Amino acid sequence: MVLEEMLIIRGPIDTPEIARAFREAGMPARITQTVVLEGLVAAKGTIGDIKALLREEVSRVERLREEFMIEEGGEESDAEEGGDTGPGRLYNPFLVTVERIAEDIVEFMAKYQPGDLVPMDDLKEWMVPSAGAAPGEEPPDTLESALHKVMAFSTLDENGLIKAEGEAVVVQGRMILEDIVITLPGDAVEDIDPEILKEHGVLTEMTVTPVPEYLLEFGPEAILEGDLDRIDEIADDLEIDEEEYESFRAGVSLKRVVIGRTLEILEGRGTLTPAEVAEALGSSAVESAGEGWKIVLELTPEFVKGLLNDLKKVGLVRRKGEKFRAI
């Protein structure tokens, strides 16, 4: 079948609800569930080791930049010297993240002692002070700062320094800050030589987990009648992978262009073979009205034959022998 498209949605979904939403948008789908394995790469090491690693990398890249500038006979601009630009910026965000998390851990350990029972409300207020702000007040903390505190809390938990008990956490103990193990996204070290990682005691690991994947298959009726504006809204609600959805939407749109032009040719020229339709499609581009672009349709007779057979199934063309005509 030529007039079909497929869309993949990863992650758990309410299958009946999704099927209903697409059906109401004019795109009934056949949904098949599979499971794929997804690998998430992370970097692990002590706070002290990771800070030393990232600082060393920043220095190394800065030295390379200086050597390059000398070879080129140029000088660094004031913006490069004083701003957050230059090659080192690749590592600075992760280094800043580690430093902020370390500061938040110090703050937490200063605020609470081993054995303290910390109610969840107090913990939320520590993580996001704006949670206690009156309506209309400017939040006193930024989202970035709150994220660092959440990561600090996760780090404390992974190191066994806190333990959840009901609607509270109990502080279990203390550690030397530089010895606390922290986990960062794999992106933080992806460009660093594995030998350098090993020298600093930093480990990269991949966690593999099963992820449900849903294959939505759409037939000719969906291609012809689907409300793409409504489908856009559904895609936003489901947070479908952007590239995956754009590919799907482009496929539907292009097939609609081909269908429209094919029907125009049959209506204008009468009964034609697939080869004749393919030739007519290739010799007449679809042009915009004064927008400066056109679509050239270089389609094979085999593709056009499949297209015409699909259009026959939905009642838009009629077949007579090896030829087709519009209804």
pLDDT tens by residue, 96-122: 999 999 999 999 999 999 999 999 999
Asked whether the beta carbons of 216 and 29 are under 8 A apart, the reply is yes
H/E segment holding residue 317:
strand 317-320
Calpha distance 314→117 (Å, rounded): 68
Whether residues 55 and 202 fall in one domain = yes
Calpha distance 27→217 (Å, rounded): 10
**Pick from 185, 206, 227: which residue ends a domain?**
206
In this structure, is residue 37 part of a structural domain? no
In this structure, is residue 211 part of a structural domain? no
Return the pLDDT at 91: 47
**Pick from 206, 227, 251: which residue ends a domain?**
206
Whether residues 171 and 46 fall in one domain = yes
Q: How many residues does the chain have?
A: 327
Calpha distance 179→202 (Å, rounded): 12
Return the pLDDT at 77: 46
β-partners of residue 117 are 170
Q: Is the pLDDT of residue 27 over 90?
A: yes
DSSP assignment of 126-150:
HH-GGGGSPTTPPPSS-HHHHHHHH
Tell me, yes or no, if the pTM score tops 0.75: no
In this structure, is residue 258 part of a structural domain? yes
Separation in Å, CA 148 to CA 53, 112, 157? 20, 18, 14
Whether residues 76 and 197 fall in one domain = yes
In total, how many domains does the chain have? 2
Asked whether the beta carbons of 315 and 301 are under 8 A apart, the reply is no
Mean pLDDT of the 127-138 span: 60
Query: Residue 129: which pLDDT band, with cuts at 50, 70 and 90?
Result: confident
Asked whether the beta carbons of 213 and 30 are under 8 A apart, the reply is no
Whether residues 269 and 158 fall in one domain = no
Whether residues 54 and 185 fall in one domain = yes
Mean pLDDT of the 155-173 span: 94
Calpha distance 50→185 (Å, rounded): 12
Whether residues 181 and 251 fall in one domain = no
Calpha distance 19→23 (Å, rounded): 6
- Which range marks the domain in which residue 49 is found? 42-206
Return the pLDDT at 60: 85
In this structure, is residue 213 part of a structural domain? no
Whether residues 118 and 173 fall in one domain = yes
Whether residues 197 and 314 fall in one domain = no
First to last CA, the chain: 21
In this structure, is residue 212 part of a structural domain? no
Instruction: Give the least confident one: 84-98, 106-120, 139-153, 256-270.
Output: 84-98
Whether residues 312 and 227 fall in one domain = yes
Torsion of CA 45, 46, 49, 51, to 10 degrees: 100
Mean pLDDT of the 44-67 span: 90
Whether residues 51 and 200 fall in one domain = yes
Return the pLDDT at 82: 45
**Pick from 140, 173, 206: which residue ends a domain?**
206
Query: Residue 89: which pLDDT band, with cuts at 50, 70 and 90?
Result: very low
Query: Residue 289: which pLDDT band, with cuts at 50, 70 and 90?
Result: low
Whether residues 48 and 156 fall in one domain = yes
Return the pLDDT at 33: 94
In this structure, is residue 34 part of a structural domain? no
Whether residues 151 and 122 fall in one domain = yes
In this structure, is residue 70 part of a structural domain? yes
Q: Is the pLDDT of residue 196 over 60?
A: yes
In this structure, is residue 83 part of a structural domain? yes
